[in-house]
């Protein structure tokens, strides 16, 4: 590229969610000094920012998979239900006294299978993504209930609960795991042609196929990756609360994941994705949630400002608004 590197960095879509994040942090700083305070308790760091990273890790990992799916021009509505199935399977196996390794493999395997079902329905049977993943969204919670027999299952295994509650270098383990996943994904996608393949399949499927790209396989694999991410999220969530609840695990999480991706500057029309943007988008969403908890907004009411924010962001990204603003600036300069 002939453009200087700093210019392309300035144009990065990841800048917008980062700016939003900083703005929200400043607002918090203005209202409460405690927001940025970081204290050490029992050798662990404690503070609002640590909470954001820890509680946001589930949304972060879901958003990672969702970014890939949205980049192919699709959507996966089933991630919340997949989380519930994986949590139910893991908890039930743990209760039966199976080893941790088997539980983790089984959990990830279930996620992979769910992703594969979605992927095959979309790439092979050529069903619209919203519709195809709706099937698993509807039946997933039923399957999770079937696995646990309709009950909540408590998780006592300390090794398993360490995943969601443990600490590494004084920091909570889940965000570290998730950040490593992001780095691995970035290396795997951006340092090889895989990321480009995904974007090509999302941008123009026919053209990519004629160019010799196995678009169906690329799309299918994106859903498999999304299923795996949902499985990781399900394992983290259930080990965090030491419980698997088929009706409540991952409820509405698909929305948070989609919102995080959109906030991160990945357009829903597909063809382009930005992992760093998604990372900041998910953090922004979680910061918003934590801010509301901080200001004693009831947790049930928290979706209202979230919904307003997402509509505003979508409207800002829409062409109609850009045309209005474009007209505005032209008039101002004329």
Partner 1 sequence: MNSLFRQRLPQLVTAGIFLLLFAAAGWRYHEVNFASAPNVANLFIGNACLGIIAVGMTLVIFSGGIDLSVGAVAAFTNIFAAVLIEKHGMNPLLVILASLAIGTAFGAAMGALIHYFKQPAFLVTLAGMFFARGCAYWMSTDSIDIHNELFLKLSRDTAKIGGDTIHPLPAYVFLVVLAFGYVLAQHTRFGRNLLAIGGNEQSALLMGLPVGVTKIAVYALCGAGAALAGLVSTLVSGGDSTYGIGLELDAIATVVIGGTLLTGGRGHMLGTLLGFLIIGTIQSAITFDGSLSSWWTRIITGALLLGFILFQRLLLRATQKRLP
- Decide: is 332 part of the binding site for partner 1 (CB under 8 A): no
Min dist CB 138 to partner 1, Å, is 4
> Cα dihedral angle (265, 315, 62, 170), rounded to 10 degrees?
70
Q: At closest approach, how far in Å is the CB of 33 from partner 1?
A: 29
Size of interface with partner 1, in residues (CB under 8 A): 45
Q: Are 112 and 310 in contact (CB under 8 A)?
A: no
Contact (CB, 8 A) for 278 and 294: no
**Interaction of residue 319 with partner 1, rule CB under 8 A:** yes
* Region of 30-38, 174-182, 206-214, 250-258 interacting with partner 1 (CB under 8 A): 250-258
**Residue whose entry in the numeric block shows the structure tokens 């092979």:** 124
Which of 116, 214, 255, 276 contacts partner 1 by CB under 8 A? Answer: 255
> Is residue 86 near partner 1 by the rule CB under 8 A?
no
| Minimum CB distance to partner 1 smaller for 19 or for 311 | 311
Assess 170 for contact with partner 1 (CB under 8 A): no
Q: Which is nearer to partner 1, 54 or 141 (CB)?
A: 141
Token pair in block for residue 145:
């209930």
CB 83 within 8 A of CB 233: yes
The answer for 32, left when phi > 0, alpha when psi is -120 to 50, beta otherwise, is beta
Rg (CA), the chain: 21
Minimal distance in Å, beta carbon 308 to partner 1? Answer: 7
- Interacting residue with partner 1 among 311, 326, 328, 329 (CB under 8 A): 311
Least distance CB 264 / partner 1 (angstroms): 14
Q: CB-based burial of residue 96 (10 Å sphere; 0-12 exposed, 13-18 middle, 19+ buried)?
A: exposed
Q: Which of 21, 52, 75, 282 binds partner 1 (CB under 8 A)?
A: 75
Q: Would you say 17 or 174 has its CB closer to partner 1?
A: 17
Place of tokens 């329905």: 121
- Secondary structure element (H or E) that encloses residue 46, with its range: strand 44-46
Q: How far apart are CA 302 and CA 289, in angstroms?
A: 7
Residues of the shown chain interacting with partner 1 in the complex, contacts defined by CB under 8 A: 75, 121, 125-128, 130-132, 134-143, 145-146, 150, 246, 252, 255, 258, 262, 268, 298, 300-304, 306-308, 310-311, 314-315, 318-321
């Amino acid at each position: 590229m002939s453009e200087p590197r700093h210019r392309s960095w300035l144009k990065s879509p990841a800048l917008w969610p980062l700016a939003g994040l900083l703005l929200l942090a400043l607002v918090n700083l203005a209202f409460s000094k405690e927001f940025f305070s970081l204290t050490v308790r029992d050798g662990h760091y404690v503070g609002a920012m640590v909470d954001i990273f820890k509680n946001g890790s589930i949304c972060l990992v879901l958003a990672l998979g969702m970014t890939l799916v949205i980049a192919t021009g699709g959507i996966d509505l089933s991630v919340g239900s997949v989380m519930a199935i994986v949590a139910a399977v893991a908890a039930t196996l743990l209760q039966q006294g199976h080893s941790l390794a088997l539980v983790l493999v089984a959990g990830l395997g279930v996620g992979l299978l769910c992703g594969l079902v979605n992927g095959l329905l979309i790439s092979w049977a050529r069903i619209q993504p919203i519709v195809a993943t709706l099937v698993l969204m509807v039946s997933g919670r039923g399957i999770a209930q079937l696995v646990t027999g309709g009950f909540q299952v408590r998780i006592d295994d300390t090794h398993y609960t360490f995943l969601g509650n443990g600490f590494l270098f004084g920091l909570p383990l889940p965000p570290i795991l998730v950040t490593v996943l992001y780095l691995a994904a970035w290396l795997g996608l951006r340092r090889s042609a895989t990321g480009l393949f995904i974007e090509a399949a999302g941008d123009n499927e026919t053209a990519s196929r004629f160019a010799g790209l196995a678009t169906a396989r690329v799309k299918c694999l994106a859903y498999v990756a999304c299923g795996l991410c949902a499985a990781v999220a399900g394992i983290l969530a259930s080990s965090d609360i030491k419980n698997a609840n088929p009706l409540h695990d991952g409820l509405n999480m698909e929305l948070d994941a989609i919102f995080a991706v959109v906030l991160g500057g990945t357009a829903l029309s597909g063809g382009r994705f930005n992992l760093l943007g998604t990372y900041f988008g998910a953090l922004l969403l979680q910061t918003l949630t934590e801010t509301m908890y901080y200001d004693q907004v009831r947790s049930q009411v928290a979706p209202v400002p979230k919904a307003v924010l997402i509509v505003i962001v979508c409207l800002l990204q829409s062409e109609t608004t850009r045309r209005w603003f474009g007209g505005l600036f032209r008039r101002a300069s004329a």
